[in-house]
Amino acid sequence: MDMHELTRSLQVKNSAKIVMLVGDGLGGLPMTPGGKTELETANTPNLDRLATAGVQGGSIPVKPGIAPGSGPGHLGLFGYDPLKYQIGRGALEATGIGFELQNGDVAIRCNFCTLDADGLISDRRAGRIPTEQSAPIAISLRQIQIPGVEVFVEPVKEHRFVVVFRGEGLHGEVEDTDPQATGVAPLDPVARDEASQRTAEVAKEFLRQAREILKDQPHANFHTMRGFASKPDLPSYEEVYGLRAAAIAVYPMYKGLARLVGMDIIGEAQTLDDQMEVLKQNWEDYDFFFIHYKYTDSTGEDGNFEAKVKRTEDLDAILPKIEALNPEVLIVTGDHSTPAYLQSHSWHPVPTLLVSDCCRPDPHTSFSESNSLTGGLSQFEAKYLMLLALSNAGKMGKYGA
């Protein structure tokens, strides 16, 4: 019996509400030996107060020592084994903006970048070009035509856009063209198997035409292609947990992942305060709310320790608005760690806090990486977090006689 067969068999319906607040990339590291992490440096009176009433531990997104992407990181939090259910970033991004993928489509998440005079990448995100500038540039790529393939280009946010190829014989096993470094040339798309060779050839032709179209742009004069992916097939939250689930997110990729597991995407929030208002307005309509906060991740990727501290404090400040709604279970966690020290996602367990009236509080009175090492939840694989959430909400029956 796999985990979802178990949850299907033990479902209990009640009116309890579960809120999962995800500070993307929440976990961190000290910048100097013996120093404090971003979370430990931040002034977080609400998280510390909740830590006194709750129980904390370290969530392992995939397996010990594995640094996950955002897709696997969130799948684990949602209770889907990220080694069993693999979703390419392109599918997440496309679904997140409401694009209806069809079987056989290949979706790619693309990033505008800046090439120097030698054709080398000088900025992998084109200066994080604002959306109002990037969207028309992305739309200009709709003029690209490739025989035998229908091409869709959709703006997303800032330097990101989505490309979808639709046609016969297309498969998503193609390597990224982003070398993940500056001072080097973009990579060519390379198929990982014979079935995806046609997709690689189509992508190469798309890039050839795009380079010509974009050549006079001051910043976004080229783009990379990442996360080639076909449409995945995932069981829904309603099916495996018996939950009416909703997602409140700003960035399309996280909306996409939530939609793929059957959550409703609610509201058009752009700030944490907006998200809290959406939560309040929809409180009676759902059993489970996933609230996503991006900026603890992006500041970590930028290597900006002080900014990540500030963003962590912003996250802490909105907690009373969630508490005012009296959820039976409140979880604060992250999909992975993004230490400013490393400027990237990392393998470190993510500090995770669970509060309910029937949790078993540990002795800790503050929320931090160091306390999560010895907290009552111990170190656990993220895919089991939903089991804890359901049980604390009284939504899991007894197993066996």
Tell me the pLDDT tens digit for each residue of 286-339: 999 999 999 999 999 999 999 999 999 999 999 999 999 999 999 999 999 999
What pLDDT shows up at residue 283?
Answer: 98
What pLDDT shows up at residue 98?
Answer: 82
What pLDDT shows up at residue 233?
Answer: 81
For the chain, helix, strand, coil in percent to 5 are 35, 20, 45
**CA–CA distance, 307 with 22 (Å, rounded to integer):** 18
Return the closest-CA partner of residue 251 out of 294, 282, 308, 298: 294
Burial bucket for residue 112 (CB in 10 Å: 0-12, 13-18, 19+)? buried
Q: Report yes or no: 159 and 112 within 8 Å, Cβ to Cβ.
A: yes
What pLDDT shows up at residue 253?
Answer: 82
**CA–CA distance, 173 with 227 (Å, rounded to integer):** 9
What pLDDT shows up at residue 401?
Answer: 82
What pLDDT shows up at residue 2?
Answer: 87
Query: Which single residue is written with the structure tokens 């490309």?
Result: 163
Domains belonging to the chain, first-starting first, are 3-85+235-392 (3.40.720.10), 92-229 (no CATH)
Collect the ranges in the chain with pLDDT lower than 50. none
* Reported pTM: 0.81
CA torsion sign for 209, 212, 218, 222 is positive
What pLDDT shows up at residue 103?
Answer: 84
User: What φ, ψ does residue 30 adopt, rounded to 5°?
Assistant: -65, 150
